[in-house]
Amino acid sequence: MKEYAVFGLVGVILVLMSAGCIEEGGENQGNVTVNATENITVAASGDIVKVDYVGRFLNGTVFDTSYENTAKESGIYNPDRNYEPLEFKVGEGEMIKGFDEEVVGMKIGEKKNITIPPEKAYGEWDPNKAVDIPRVINLTIPEFKQLVPGQQPVAGKKYMMGGIELEVLDVKNITRALKEGDRNVVFYHVDTCPWCRKMEPWVAELKNESYEFHDVYNKNPDYEAKRQEFSDVLDIGQGVPQFGCRANGELHVGAFASKEELKKFADDCRNASGVSITVTARHNPIIGMMVNTGMGQARISDITDTIITLDYNPPLAGKTLIFEIAIVNMTKSKVKYVPDTAPEGGFTTFKSNDPNAGICVGDGKPIIFEFSTTWCPHCKWIKSTFDETVKDYVDSGKIVAHHWELDINDDTLTAEVETSVPGSDLGVYQKFNPGGSIPTYVFGCKYYRIGNGYESQNDLASEEKEFMEVIEHLIKSAESA
């Protein structure tokens, strides 16, 4: 299944993750707003509430608040933040457990002081989530350029790398033992690049002259594996074409002016002795700063001359938290979950993490989602088929459906042009695809698929058929509830 990464999730001080299912659109279908005068209504699971709050540690220090004046008085004011009531869906895991539980049963206008122990907040601090990494690292030239695009390493110079200072300590030649294939040129190219197409005949001619190349091409089935294999010599963040050589560490980004220049690059690679340039650099971060890593977001908790400690625990792990909370508004949800009998053998490309889970319905109709973008080629391939298939069911009053294009925040299934995606709908996306790739399909808040199922066969008919199979099953479950 093909997919594109669209975003990475960033934690907010109170919010663990957005999750849940609620039908919410331009006409407020699927919910009903309770006015402030209707205080006899209390918050229950599935409702959307807006809560003002002040969060403190046991020593009275304020660590977060929705009130601007309180933030200024406490010295935690952030001018880039909008101070307003926190909106979330009750009982769907969007909040830390203790906060979520205490809101249940509260009325609009009601205030409450609550104390939340670590086990119902961010958990106890886990020493196994504190990881030491070397502060001083050795890099090849391509690796350095991946960290600091467009720069050449100079000993003694300092560079900024995603908000962290990288200081080059030394740049020197080293000799290493070469493996088989290290003297072959790595050719990185894609089918949509005209300069790549200009290089391809020259590469083919050199192959006929006994030169060997590693082919990293987006139309080959091993493309992703090859990109990973040769990431030490390629600069994936730069454009294409690229020509790299492991034997001498050289990388050429862009097309060569002539076949002779390409041949000279290949000759230099073929005759390389294993001498390459190594950059010795030191990270100079600040204790307490947050960094994004391949393992997720971490806080830098300690720094020595040789070691940096990354703490992957939540910043408030191990803390008992005290909150003053007040509900200022509430939206009562009409979305319900009804029992579902999973079809024998399941579906071909759609899956469910919990076969016993119910399905979400709005006004008795199953709720269907697709999340995509306007620029994703896989999304473009499926768009008409999905939209036309589900719209037939919407028009006949059998389902509720949304197709959110996340880069422009528009629902393609409505006539109006939306400018924002409801937080509850984004919660569905993040719950079923925390990696944030597209396209993503969630049917009935139970069955989901990340990517297209039949694109490699260019089989839109099978896509339509399976969409209909899942929808028909959900309709039967909703009707029998």
pLDDT at 7: 35
Domain 185-218+235-270 adopts which CATH fold? Glutaredoxin (3.40.30)
**pTM for this predicted structure:** 0.49
Report residue 134: phi and psi, to 5°. -70, 140
Q: Which residues of 139-159 are buried (b: 16+ CB within 10 A; e: fewer)?
A: bbbbbbbbbbeeeebeeeeeb
Residue type, 457: Q
Cβ atoms 234, 142 nearer than 8 A: yes
Place of tokens 């560079």: 159
Sign of the torsion angle spanned by Cα atoms 27, 28, 34, 37 = negative
C-beta atoms surrounding 281 within 10 Å: 26
- Architecture of domain 31-126+315-333 in CATH? Roll (3.10)
The span from the CA of 453 to the CA of 244, in Å, is 35
Alpha carbon of 359 to those of 328, 439, 446, 474, 479: distances in Å?
30, 21, 6, 7, 12
Residues in the chain: 481
Q: Compute how many other C-beta atoms are within 10 angstroms of the C-beta atom of residue 475.
A: 17
Q: How much is the pLDDT for 424?
A: 75
CATH class for the region spanning 334-480: alpha beta
Phi, psi of 459, deg, nearest 5: -110, 80
What SS3 string covers the chain?
CCCEECCCCCCCCCECCCCCCCCCCCCCCCEEEECCCCCCCECCCCCEEEEEEEEECCCCCEEEECCHHHHHHHCCCCCCCCCCCEEEECCCCCECHHHHHHHCCCECCCEEEEEECHHHCCCCCCHHHEEEEECEEEEEHHHHHHHCCCCCCCCCCEEEECCEEEEEEEEEEEECCCCCCCCCEEEEECCCCHHHHHHHHHHHHHHHCCCCEEEEECCCCCHHHHHHHCCCCCCCCCCCCEEEECCCCEEEECCCCCHHHHHHHHHHHHCCCCEEEEEEEEEECCCCCEEEECCEEEEEEEECCCEEEEECCCCCCCCCEEEEEEEEEEEEECCEEECCCCCCCCCCCCECCCCCCCEEEECCEEEEEEEECCCCHHHHHHHHHHHHHHHHHHHCCCCEEEEEECCCCEECCCCCCCCCCCHHHHHHHHHHCCCCEECEEEECCCEEEECCCCHHHCCHHHHHHHHHHHHHHHHHHHHHC
pLDDT at 4: 40
Residue spans of the domains in the chain: they are 31-126+315-333, 128-175+281-311, 185-218+235-270, 334-480
Residue for token digits 């060997």? 212
> Are 31-126+315-333 and 185-218+235-270 equal in CATH topology?
no
pLDDT tens series, the chain, 481 aa: 433 434 332 233 333 333 222 222 332 233 333 333 333 478 887 788 999 999 999 999 999 999 999 999 999 999 999 999 999 988 877 899 999 999 999 999 999 999 999 999 999 999 999 999 999 998 888 788 878 888 889 999 999 987 889 999 999 887 778 899 999 999 999 998 999 999 999 999 999 999 999 999 999 999 999 999 998 888 877 789 999 999 888 889 899 999 999 999 999 999 988 777 789 999 999 999 998 877 788 999 999 999 999 999 999 999 999 999 999 999 877 777 888 876 555 799 999 988 888 899 988 899 999 999 999 999 999 999 999 999 999 999 999 999 999 999 999 999 999 988 887 788 889 889 988 889 999 999 999 999 999 998 999 999 999 999 999 999 999 998 7
Q: Rounded to 5 degrees, what angle do the CA atoms 30, 11, 31 make? A: 10
Work out the burial of residue 240: count CB atoms within 10 Å of its CB; fewer than 13 is exposed, 13-18 middle, 19 or more buried. Answer: buried
pLDDT for 345: 57
Structure tokens at 429: 């996306």
